[in-house]
């Protein structure tokens, strides 16, 4: 009879300790504040653009930035401004304010990963400047490669789409909490996200690389 009560009290103490301990853990996620997303200038001097050894089509990316107009800064409002500025890539976002609200950007400079929440699912968006070559004898068994090398792959918990734009390898991945979630069992939802991935955001490093000045 006494055992459960004692166990409960011990567990209660442990629970309090855990709560206290976790409260002392320093989060490494940067604070979500207003980003320093810069608007594209009205004109770009092609002569001022540096060569692009990184293989990125900066001219195309700047075109995308212009087309995004004021959408980019609005959509990117929740992203960590320091991470945006550090990213030496055109950041590509789906034109979906609900999805992008509260999205988190993790930047490695030449690679970024954004995580955004949906009800019962999450979306990851990545951009990579470089790819690793496969061995010469390896062949990729792909059912269909769409425009911009779009490939959609079914994963254990969702759908992974990748495509190449501006010389950057982008991914849009959907991950569902429940394996049975219909959004993750077919390609439609993730293809919809790819279709509306049209908004370009460029921070300081990207602007500099694009010859726009910092």
Partner 1 sequence: MRAPLVILILILLAVLALVGYNSGWFGSPPVPGAGPPGTPTASGATTPSGPAAEPEEPVGDGGVEQLPDEAQPQPAADPAKTPDAPSAGSFGHFPAGDLIAKSGSGYLDRTVWSPDLCFPFAEAAFANSQVYGAGGGMGPKDKPSQCDSSNYSLPWRDNFCESRGYASPLCVSGKGHQGQDIRPATCKKDLHWVVAAEAGIITDVGTYTVTLTGAAPPHRVYRYLHMRMNQLAVKEGDSVQAGANLGKASNDFGGTPTTIHMHFEIRSGVAGTSTDGKAVKLHTFLPPYQSLVAAYDRKRAGQACH
**Minimum separation from the CB atom of position 204 to partner 1 (A):** 20
Q: How far apart are the first and last CA of the chain?
A: 71
Task: Between 7 and 39, name the residue whose CB sits nearer to partner 1.
Answer: 7
The set of residues, in sequence order, having a beta carbon less than 8 Å from that of 176 and lying 6+ positions away, is 120, 121, 157, 158, 183, 184
Query: Residue 163 in contact with residue 125, Cβ under 8 Å?
Result: no
Interface with partner 1, residue 149, by CB under 8 A: yes
DSSP SS3 for 92 = strand
Q: Rule CB under 8 A: which of 164-193 touch partner 1? A: 164, 169, 171, 175, 177-179
Cβ-based nearer residue to partner 1, 82 or 151: 151
Q: Is 76 helix (H, G, I), strand (E, B) or coil?
A: helix
CB 84 within 8 A of CB 205: no
- For residue 12, the minimal CB distance to partner 1 (Å) is 4
- Tell me which of 151, 192, 198, 208 binds partner 1, using CB under 8 A: 151
Q: For partner 1, which is the closer residue by CB, 11 or 182?
A: 11
For tokens 């442990």, the residue is 14
For position 97 contacting partner 1 by CB under 8 A, the verdict is no
Cβ atoms of 71 and 110 within 8 Å: the answer is no
CA distances for 154 relative to 71, 81, 124, angstroms = 30, 33, 15
Using the rule CB under 8 A, which residue among 63, 82, 106, 191 binds partner 1? Answer: 106
Q: How many residues lie near partner 1 (CB under 8 A)? A: 55
Binding site for partner 1 (CB under 8 A): 4-5, 7-9, 11-12, 14-16, 27-30, 104, 106, 108, 110-111, 113, 115, 122, 124, 126, 128, 130-135, 138-143, 145, 149, 151-157, 160, 162, 164, 169, 171, 175, 177-179
């Amino acid at each position: 009879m006494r055992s459960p009560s004692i166990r409960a009290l011990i567990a209660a103490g442990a629970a309090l300790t855990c709560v206290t301990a976790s409260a002392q853990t320093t989060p490494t996620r940067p604070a979500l504040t207003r980003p320093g997303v810069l608007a594209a200038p009205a004109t770009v001097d092609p002569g001022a653009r540096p060569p692009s050894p990184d293989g990125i089509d900066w001219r195309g990316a700047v075109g995308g930035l212009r087309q995004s107009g004021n959408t980019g800064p609005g959509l990117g409002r929740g992203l960590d401004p320091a991470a945006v500025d550090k990213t030496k890539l055109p950041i590509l976002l789906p034109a979906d304010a609900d999805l992008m609200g509260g999205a988190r950007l993790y930047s490695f400079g030449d690679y970024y990963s954004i995580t955004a929440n949906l009800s019962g699912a999450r979306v990851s968006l990545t951009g990579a400047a470089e790819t690793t070559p496969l061995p010469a004898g390896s062949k990729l068994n792909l059912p269909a490669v769409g425009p911009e090398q779009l490939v959609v792959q079914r994963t254990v918990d969702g759908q992974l789409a990748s495509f190449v734009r501006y010389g950057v390898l982008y991914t849009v991945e959907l991950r569902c909490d429940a394996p049975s979630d219909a959004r993750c069992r077919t390609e439609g939802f993730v293809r919809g996200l790819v279709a509306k991935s049209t908004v370009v955001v460029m921070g300081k490093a990207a602007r500099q690389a694009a010859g726009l000045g910092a």
